Structure 1
Amino acid sequence: MNLSIHHTFLPHHDPEASLAFYRDVLGFEVRNDVGYENMRWITVGPAGSGTTIVLTPPAVDPGITDEERATVLEMMAKGTYATIVLQSPDVDETFHQIQATGADVIQEPTDQPYGVRDCAFRDPAGNHVRINQA
């Protein structure tokens, strides 16, 4: 098999704030921006990469219950619902560039006991964004 990651989904509750974070702070390209009624799906990704992130309204599956939807929104607010791990050749420089934008810092660059140097932020929806040193 020859598999690669095409896209993944992260929820958002404010499409403009999420767009500003992924496009303006992280420098991702906007590949698609689709609205339907009061919802919006935005597809972003690193330049030159086929991998994309679809920023999606949370819990829009028609089969989800109101209780499940409330749980998803509660977990998003706590920053415990979704995580994405990105990679940078210089995590310290990347950290300082992102921190300078006022992004919500979870962890400054740290050498982890499992052999990775990384840092972490929350995006405007509360999603956990970790960045590993390449």
Structure 2
Amino acid sequence: MPISSILTVTLPVADQERALAFYTGVLDFEVRTDNPFPMGRWLTVAPKGAATTLLLASWFPEMPPIGGLVLAAPDLDALAARLREHDAAFEGPSDEPWGRQLLFRDPFGNGFVVSQT
């Protein structure tokens, strides 16, 4: 039986509250789950309408930040302005042979590429 989808990607974060503030307050993601978990909270967020969620996991202190997750946004200039307003680290937007993109890191070093849709 083939795998049919990716449900959740785990992001290592040192502080779930700070991560939640970044993903909901800066990126405008919505909370999908926020439940007690033996090692903290099972806290997932996602862009509105997206199928795949991000698990903000604080129980992997030795897990290095991940990079290369690709997101999509219709207006990279607006995203850049929002990231700048919140003093978030980012580069771009830039026009590349494959399209327009912006790079950013969350407060814990997890890296993202955002492609303009």
TM-score after normalising by structure 2: 0.83
| Matching residue of 2:110 | 127
What is the aligned counterpart of 1:88 among 52, 57, 73?
A: 73
| Matching residue of 2:95 | 111
Q: Percent identity?
A: 37
- What SS does the corresponding residue of 1:132 show, helix, strand or coil? strand
Aligned length: 116
**Residues 13 and 130 of structure 1: CA distance in aligned 2, closer, same or farther (over 3 Å):** same
Q: Distance in 1 between matches of 2:45 and 2:37?
A: 18
Higher strand share: 2
| Matching residue of 1:42 | 43
Contact residue 10 and residue 82 of structure 1 kept, 8 A: no
Larger Rg: 1
Give the unaligned 5+ runs of structure 1.
61-68
Higher helix share: 1
Contact residue 119 and residue 130 of structure 1 kept, 8 A: yes
Matches within 5 A, 1:8-87: 8-36=9-37, 39-59=40-60, 69=62, 72=63, 75-76=64-65, 81-87=66-72
The letter for the 2-side match of 1:112 is E
RMSD over aligned CA atoms reads 2.2
Q: Distance in 1 between matches of 2:52 and 2:27?
A: 15
The letter for the 2-side match of 1:89 is P
TM-score after normalising by structure 1: 0.74
